[in-house]
Chains A and B, each alone.
Chain A
């Protein structure tokens, strides 16, 4: 490596210039955030932002490598606490100060990119200067399974925890510092104590579980397997799951302390913890094996000792047993109930996933264009309505209308009387078929007696009947209608809304007129 000063100052200064320059550069982001804080309304006189920056690194380093690392919220909360002690008069501003510091260390002003500085490598005298870029992070965000966590870079750890005169790029060294710091913080002791405590809990749980299972084998009713035992099993399972995960993480972390170059003290403690965790782990695994088989023991015992009863799904009163109670629940509980209910009631729902390009294509799909400019129009041949075989000829309709017009006087007229008037009305024109007129009058009266409301609403009614029957209504008469081809009681026809001459007896013959 060419000396930074090209040997012009002193060989000693030259040799370490680059490293010392880097150490210097590493502190610059802190200075910068202090300068910029004024823009955010944070007064340097009120808060020691440098100390807050140091504290941020300390908080982060304290938990790095453990099962639960510091989340962004943890760090901001911690700094907010410190900041509010610095300026008790402005509790509202403490959080802003904490955010400013964390944002500064994340280089938020430049979208959390690396801090970048240029080092002038002077080289030998006479050579042109070579500019070297040096970029680094102090804090950065990673996504962990429980949310975004903050991690400190090796440079941040080395510089902020152990002063300036060190090799900043040595990751092993950084790890050693982290372990040393955690040892000093007595975090190892705490972790060892927790592990030992967890081991004792597991031993206790194992013993109770063994007893419980023996009792169940003898008598399935000896313990409450509906509520109490499952709860206990869940508790034990959670304990084991948590411990095994935690211990693995700690073991890995501490093991790396044995592998890296660390102080004898760290190595000794690490060794002790590795032994302790190994033993605790066996206990946890043993408990786990018992837990896995526990339910089976109960089921076997139950089948052997009792007849399995079929459980029937109860009928629910949706309003009183589901909706009303759910409305009274707090939101999180209500969501759980509603989700469970909806899942059962609505069946499987498929989670929708996205693919970036497909999503954009879908959103930006061009509006659908018509394939051909002029759609083919289907040509319907003209229909001569006058010769529609389904319709009654106009003179017939006219004659029927005349017959029915007898009701316009307001009186009720018997259908038989109307039918009697048909021959007269039909006689005015030789073309009129008397039978057709009679049929039309009869059908109109029947329609007036029992209109097909649905067909009427859908417009599915033969025009003539609608027209003729539209204004009249009919009710049953107690006499019988005696006509060829027509049977049943006679009808009393009147103008719709007209006067009722005699009260109908509801107990009358129920039979309807039949055509």
Chain B
């Protein structure tokens, strides 16, 4: 951060920009105030410092400023951090394991290598493909070591739960019912859409989603972990052989 004191108009503009970034529906359209502030953030170092500092004070971090808008990540435990209570409240321990596994699965599926994080192209993913990919990677997760309670052990447990679930159960109306992995993947995508990390791509068929820049930046920000690394290895091999 620069040591120069920021003037108040700059602080106001910075707050406005963070306000836009927090409002999930705001889009930096041409000619709009959001767009102007984003451009200013990209081009003016002093302003960027003010915004970053203000975000830090609020318990936020600016992960990036793609064309679709500023992407923020919360500090854990901060006012903006998602809590378990914000997810579906009826989730039991197994549901949470599966949710986490699918989240990692989608990340590994879409971005198998670090180079993928620099590629601004949005990825199209399909529910069935993700499910198949995760199913095909369960052995790799089952081989992870780790003591009770370690992330590796949790990954093994998640893989076990996933393997035990059927791929598809349908309701009487023919939709996917809870308790199958396709529904679990569908729910994760629903949540990603809510988070602005994915969008439905109905024009290319049902169950198809775009992963947005927000998701790319979120995954790029991740320090990784044994489970993510294992799945990315599987996916890299899959991509290389295709």
Contact assessment for A363 and B99 in the assembled complex, using a CB-CB cutoff below 8 Å = yes
Contact assessment for B73 and A102 in the assembled complex, using a CB-CB cutoff below 8 Å = no
Contact assessment for B107 and A356 in the assembled complex, using a CB-CB cutoff below 8 Å = yes
Binary interface encoding of chain A residues 123-148 relative to chain B, with 1 for a CB under 8 A from any of its CBs, else 0: 00000000000000100111111111
Residue B27, interface by CB 8 Å: yes
Contact assessment for A357 and B30 in the assembled complex, using a CB-CB cutoff below 8 Å = no
Contact segment of A225-233, A237-245, A507-515? A237-245
Identify B30's interface contact among A67, A99, A111, A362, CB under 8 A.
A67
Residues in A with CB closer than 8 Å to B103 are 356, 359-360, 363
Could you tell me the distance in whole angstroms from the C-beta of B222 to the nearest C-beta in chain A?
4
A177 to B182 Cα, complex, angstroms: 46
A356 to B195 Cα, complex, angstroms: 12
Residue A187, interface by CB 8 Å: no
3 smallest CB-CB distances across A and B, nearest first, come from A245-B31, A245-B30, A363-B100
A67 to B31 Cα, complex, angstroms: 10
Could you tell me the distance in whole angstroms from the C-beta of A94 to the nearest C-beta in chain B?
13
Binary interface encoding of chain B residues 150-174 relative to chain A, with 1 for a CB under 8 A from any of its CBs, else 0: 0101110010000000000000000
Residues in A with CB closer than 8 Å to B80 are 350-353
Residue A354, interface by CB 8 Å: yes
Starting from the known contacts A145-B29, A355-B73, 9 additional A-B residue pairs (CB-CB under 8 Å) come to A137-B121, A243-B31, A352-B83, A353-B81, A357-B221, A358-B76, A358-B81, A360-B227, A364-B96
A72 to B124 Cα, complex, angstroms: 12
Contact assessment for B242 and A351 in the assembled complex, using a CB-CB cutoff below 8 Å = no
A108-B30 contact given A144-B67, A353-B82, CB 8 Å threshold: no
Contact assessment for B35 and A145 in the assembled complex, using a CB-CB cutoff below 8 Å = yes
A390 to B6 Cα, complex, angstroms: 72
Residue B7, interface by CB 8 Å: no
Contact assessment for A148 and B29 in the assembled complex, using a CB-CB cutoff below 8 Å = no
**CB-nearest residue of chain B relative to A147?**
B199
Could you tell me the distance in whole angstroms from the C-beta of A500 to the nearest C-beta in chain B?
55
**CB-nearest residue of chain A relative to B77?**
A358
Binary interface encoding of chain A residues 325-351 relative to chain B, with 1 for a CB under 8 A from any of its CBs, else 0: 000000000000000000000000011
Contact assessment for B204 and A103 in the assembled complex, using a CB-CB cutoff below 8 Å = yes
Contact segment of B9-17, B42-50, B205-213? B205-213
Contact assessment for B204 and A72 in the assembled complex, using a CB-CB cutoff below 8 Å = yes
Binary interface encoding of chain A residues 188-226 relative to chain B, with 1 for a CB under 8 A from any of its CBs, else 0: 000000000000000000000000000000000000000
A72-B201 contact given A356-B222, A360-B104, CB 8 Å threshold: yes
A363 to B85 Cα, complex, angstroms: 11
Q: Name the interface size band of chain A.
A: 35 or more
Could you tell me the distance in whole angstroms from the C-beta of B66 to the nearest C-beta in chain A?
7
Residue B8, interface by CB 8 Å: no
Contact assessment for A352 and B82 in the assembled complex, using a CB-CB cutoff below 8 Å = yes
Residue A113, interface by CB 8 Å: yes
A305 to B11 Cα, complex, angstroms: 36
**Which residues of B are in contact with A by a Cβ distance under 8 Å?**
22-24, 27-32, 35, 60, 66-69, 72-74, 76, 79-84, 86, 93, 96-97, 99-100, 103-104, 107, 120-124, 148-149, 151, 153-155, 158, 195, 197, 199, 201, 203-205, 210, 212-213, 218-219, 221-223, 225, 227-228, 239, 242
**CB-nearest residue of chain A relative to B235?**
A111
Identify B82's interface contact among A106, A110, A112, A354, CB under 8 A.
A354
Contact assessment for A72 and B203 in the assembled complex, using a CB-CB cutoff below 8 Å = yes
Contact assessment for A102 and B204 in the assembled complex, using a CB-CB cutoff below 8 Å = yes
A369 to B93 Cα, complex, angstroms: 14
Residues in B with CB closer than 8 Å to A144 are 67-68
A73 to B221 Cα, complex, angstroms: 31
Contact assessment for B154 and A355 in the assembled complex, using a CB-CB cutoff below 8 Å = no
A67 to B67 Cα, complex, angstroms: 13
Residue A246, interface by CB 8 Å: yes
Residues in A with CB closer than 8 Å to B29 are 145-146, 245
**Which residues of A are in contact with B by a Cβ distance under 8 Å?**
67, 72-73, 76-77, 99, 102-103, 106, 108, 110-113, 137, 140-148, 241-246, 248-249, 350-364, 366-367, 369
**CB-nearest residue of chain B relative to A103?**
B204
Could you tell me the distance in whole angstroms from the C-beta of A3 to the nearest C-beta in chain B?
31
Contact assessment for A356 and B124 in the assembled complex, using a CB-CB cutoff below 8 Å = no
Residues in B with CB closer than 8 Å to A148 are 122, 199, 201, 210
Residues in B with CB closer than 8 Å to A242 are 31
A499 to B33 Cα, complex, angstroms: 84
Contact assessment for B74 and A357 in the assembled complex, using a CB-CB cutoff below 8 Å = no
Residues in A with CB closer than 8 Å to B122 are 141-143, 148
Contacts A/B (CB < 8 Å), 12 sampled: A73-B203, A106-B124, A143-B210, A148-B199, A243-B31, A352-B74, A352-B81, A353-B82, A355-B221, A356-B221, A358-B82, A363-B103
Contact assessment for B97 and A364 in the assembled complex, using a CB-CB cutoff below 8 Å = yes
Residues in A with CB closer than 8 Å to B212 are 143
A507 to B17 Cα, complex, angstroms: 74
Contact assessment for A363 and B121 in the assembled complex, using a CB-CB cutoff below 8 Å = no
Residues in B with CB closer than 8 Å to A355 are 73-74, 76, 81, 218, 221
Residues in B with CB closer than 8 Å to A146 are 27, 29
Could you tell me the distance in whole angstroms from the C-beta of B12 to the nearest C-beta in chain A?
16
A351-B27 contact given A143-B66, A364-B96, A366-B149, CB 8 Å threshold: no
A415 to B99 Cα, complex, angstroms: 71
A141 to B213 Cα, complex, angstroms: 11
Identify B218's interface contact among A110, A111, A112, A354, CB under 8 A.
A354
Could you tell me the distance in whole angstroms from the C-beta of B239 to the nearest C-beta in chain A?
7
Contact assessment for B30 and A367 in the assembled complex, using a CB-CB cutoff below 8 Å = no
A369 to B122 Cα, complex, angstroms: 42
**CB-nearest residue of chain A relative to B205?**
A99
Contact assessment for B121 and A364 in the assembled complex, using a CB-CB cutoff below 8 Å = no
A144 to B35 Cα, complex, angstroms: 12
Contact assessment for A141 and B68 in the assembled complex, using a CB-CB cutoff below 8 Å = no
Residues in B with CB closer than 8 Å to A358 are 74, 76, 81-82
Residues in B with CB closer than 8 Å to A140 are 121
Contact assessment for A241 and B32 in the assembled complex, using a CB-CB cutoff below 8 Å = yes
A86 to B173 Cα, complex, angstroms: 36
Residues in B with CB closer than 8 Å to A142 are 67, 120-122
A399 to B27 Cα, complex, angstroms: 85
Contact assessment for A353 and B60 in the assembled complex, using a CB-CB cutoff below 8 Å = yes
Contact assessment for B204 and A360 in the assembled complex, using a CB-CB cutoff below 8 Å = no
A77 to B203 Cα, complex, angstroms: 8
Could you tell me the distance in whole angstroms from the C-beta of A215 to the nearest C-beta in chain B?
29
Could you tell me the distance in whole angstroms from the C-beta of B171 to the nearest C-beta in chain A?
23
A445 to B225 Cα, complex, angstroms: 74
A226 to B197 Cα, complex, angstroms: 40
Tell me which of B29, B104, B242 has the highest count of chain A C-beta atoms within 10 A of its own C-beta: B29
**CB-nearest residue of chain A relative to B220?**
A356
Identify B154's interface contact among A113, A249, A356, A364, CB under 8 A.
A364
Contact assessment for A76 and B68 in the assembled complex, using a CB-CB cutoff below 8 Å = no
A248 to B31 Cα, complex, angstroms: 9
Residues in A with CB closer than 8 Å to B67 are 142-145
Contact assessment for B204 and A245 in the assembled complex, using a CB-CB cutoff below 8 Å = no
